[in-house]
Structure 1
């Protein structure tokens, strides 16, 4: 029986993308017969109880004393241990500069003989701009990266672009890199009656329901702020549904500046997975702009794809070629508000195009991003079929 140790900075009941992803991976591997040990921090709330998954909430504040204790606990398992580390530099405390954690992982590989695999969700802070503290953190992040790449036997990447960023810090070491896309963390709920009721509530006159799903961070909110009023002022036959944690705040900001559209903008706030799926299914089109462009690390677009929703999104420097090659989304350059809004209007005006985008979205998700591809790749220890199918440029 395969035994694997998943080390993560977040795990349910904590909220966050890494938490959701870690839970999906743990339960997905366990469903294939592996015994999974999750090492994480303690958290408030109801803990999941999944078959085949043992959760050890022992990381504390991830200080050296915590790591020594966890190390002794790991030593009780048969050597060599297989460690799968969910890596985001800001996730492990110490003001996003936890060098002791990286050195601890290096010790697990070099001294204890454990196999360390990294799943890189985000590599490091970029240089340029920011405060001197941020510039200092960017330097430390690269030192951390060199240590981690010296420890790792394999590096999994949420987007192919991270390989170009990370490869120089392997310092000539031939570490295999492989793309491992992030799957949707929201199951599709088939509940047509509830969806009909939601549409009647949000669009009582039969208007189009334009949706956006996310957590409404500043960079994405800045893209939505000019686009939404432009879209809404162009037609009275649509209503906007902002879905997810933080949506109420963005609605308030938009309405404060544009009170004339107050009745046509709705916000759900945080929803459970079941209600979230129902609200998504009530939408005619999803608008999902991203400041660095749509990419396979964006869980919010994966959720929309898996639900078979027509998507209007943006291209940027992190956008993989598959998004245009697949023709599964309507895509415009990031920052071009006029083109973005015009693309939304064009999709809304064409029922055949919405139907085509819906089918293409569902097909792309199943072929490239379904969780089964991720689990198969981790178990086989090699690139998934999804990676082989995409041109990385």
Structure 2
């Protein structure tokens, strides 16, 4: 049987910065490795990387508005896609509902249609549309309109299952493999990053926005310093992504909080750096602090990357139970409160053996979320999906 030709539709793709961009690239690479042809329809800011010529990139979309319908229909027919798979993140599609309505209103293709929900944020329609339930309805319309609906975590599954009982859950993987530069040595890398050799180094990975608890990072650092600990915070990666302009305002709030607390000299920003340098920054740190406002989740690429690097992780409790995430065994959990997080960070920073044990457990858990396994699960979902 001929392997299906798969067309991904995503609002962002490298070198655009964003978790969905990296996810789509990694899944595409894994599917190509399994013998499939993969195309990607995306924004004009994307470009082909020299090391992935086997992925056919269509960086054609300047604005994700109603013109998308005709563009997508033409491409499906021209490229003869067997599967059209939307990688859905509301902000990456400009908060516009065109992509939500395409499967129901204009899709004439014989291809199997699928969507992976990377979040359930609602697109913008018009003022006060949320009062009528219309914005929520756009998400439900997309979920019902495709042949296959995929979520990445139990929270989103619970929210969507009443509308789409046959949805499939496939967690994401780490966009950053644990692969530091050759001959990595922790102490020289600390010096290169401006970190004192004996300091207690917290790290944070990912873009800043209000859901990720950026202000708590500053508060916990201040609390540790107030307890007499020579603590530093290493901010790994770019500060804000390409999709959501509100992130810039939130970044300014976090920076102001750091400055007001007199912590600027203790906060170190790597900026956007290649994957091996991200790995080196993780491995140069003592504890990964991820104070999500809405709780840890498998949809968080920053969390999955921390697992893959075998980091001891301090984060906030998930919104729904996760059997694999056991407080004190897989990771440490504390409520999104500065005092509670500071106390937990102080305890674990004082116990190197416990940090080592948590890191080993985290790395073992991450082995469940490899890209070949995610690609295989995605293909199995395609095969099982009902399609007329």
Single out whichever of 146-155 and 25-34 deviates more from structure 2.
146-155
Q: 1:379 to 1:46 in 2, by over 3 A?
A: closer
Asked if structure 1 preserves the Cα contact closer than 8 Å seen for 2:85 and 2:115, the reply is yes
For the residues of structure 1 that align with 2:215 and 2:122, how far apart are their CA atoms? 20
Q: Counterpart of 2:118?
A: 121
Out of 142, 152, 157, the residue aligned to residue 146 of structure 2 is: 152
Q: Counterpart of 1:253?
A: 256
How far did 1:199 drift?
A: 2.0
For the residues of structure 2 that align with 1:269 and 1:151, how far apart are their CA atoms? 40
Q: Counterpart of 2:366?
A: 365
Q: Counterpart of 1:236?
A: 229
Single out whichever of 84-93 and 308-317 deviates more from structure 2.
84-93
For the residues of structure 2 that align with 1:299 and 1:227, how far apart are their CA atoms? 22
How far did 1:30 drift?
A: 0.7
Q: 1:89 to 1:138 in 2, by over 3 A?
A: farther
Q: 1:46 to 1:85 in 2, by over 3 A?
A: closer
Q: Please show how residues 315-354 of structure 1 align to structure 2 within 5 Å.
A: 315-318=317-320, 320-324=322-326, 327-335=329-337, 337-354=338-355
For the residues of structure 2 that align with 1:287 and 1:234, how far apart are their CA atoms? 18
The DSSP-based 3-state class of the residue aligned with 2:364 is helix
The DSSP-based 3-state class of the residue aligned with 2:67 is helix
The DSSP-based 3-state class of the residue aligned with 2:202 is strand
Higher relative contact order (CA 8 A, sep 6+): 2
Q: Please show how residues 96-135 of structure 1 align to structure 2 within 5 Å.
A: 96-98=95-97, 100-107=98-105, 111-125=108-122, 133=127
How far did 1:269 drift?
A: 2.4
Out of 285, 288, 299, the residue aligned to residue 286 of structure 1 is: 288
Q: CA RMSD in A?
A: 2.9
Q: Which has the higher helix share?
A: 1
The DSSP-based 3-state class of the residue aligned with 2:61 is coil
- The alignment covers a number of residue pairs equal to 368
For the residues of structure 2 that align with 1:382 and 1:258, how far apart are their CA atoms? 52
Alignment pair present for 1:166 and 2:160? yes
The DSSP-based 3-state class of the residue aligned with 1:124 is coil
Q: 1:108 to 1:236 in 2, by over 3 A?
A: same
Which runs of structure 1 show a deviation greater than 4 angstroms over 4 or more consecutive aligned residues?
Answer: 44-49, 247-252
Runs of 5+ consecutive residues of structure 2 not aligned to the other structure: 241-250, 384-388
The DSSP-based 3-state class of the residue aligned with 2:121 is coil
Q: Please show how residues 1-393 of structure 1 align to structure 2 within 5 Å.
A: 1-43=3-45, 47=49, 50-78=52-80, 81-93=82-94, 96-98=95-97, 100-107=98-105, 111-125=108-122, 133=127, 136=130, 139-170=133-164, 176-191=166-181, 192-201=183-192, 202-219=194-211, 220-246=213-239, 252-259=255-262, 261-318=263-320, 320-324=322-326, 327-335=329-337, 337-366=338-367, 368-381=368-381
Q: 1:205 to 1:222 in 2, by over 3 A?
A: closer
For the residues of structure 1 that align with 2:140 and 2:258, how far apart are their CA atoms? 47
For the residues of structure 1 that align with 2:132 and 2:317, how far apart are their CA atoms? 26
For the residues of structure 1 that align with 2:67 and 2:279, how far apart are their CA atoms? 42
Q: 1:125 to 1:321 in 2, by over 3 A?
A: farther
Asked if structure 1 preserves the Cα contact closer than 8 Å seen for 2:214 and 2:254, the reply is no
The DSSP-based 3-state class of the residue aligned with 1:105 is helix
Q: 1:251 to 1:8 in 2, by over 3 A?
A: closer
Q: Counterpart of 1:389?
A: none
For the residues of structure 1 that align with 2:346 and 2:224, how far apart are their CA atoms? 8
Q: 1:138 to 1:58 in 2, by over 3 A?
A: farther
Asked if structure 2 preserves the Cα contact closer than 8 Å seen for 1:251 and 1:265, the reply is no
Q: Cα deviations across residues 172-197 of structure 1 (Å, max 9, x unaligned)?
A: xxx52121112111122244545321
For the residues of structure 2 that align with 1:124 and 1:138, how far apart are their CA atoms? 16
For the residues of structure 2 that align with 1:338 and 1:207, how far apart are their CA atoms? 21
For the residues of structure 2 that align with 1:138 and 1:328, how far apart are their CA atoms? 42
So what's the TM-score if we normalise by structure 2?
0.85
Asked if structure 2 preserves the Cα contact closer than 8 Å seen for 1:10 and 1:19, the reply is yes
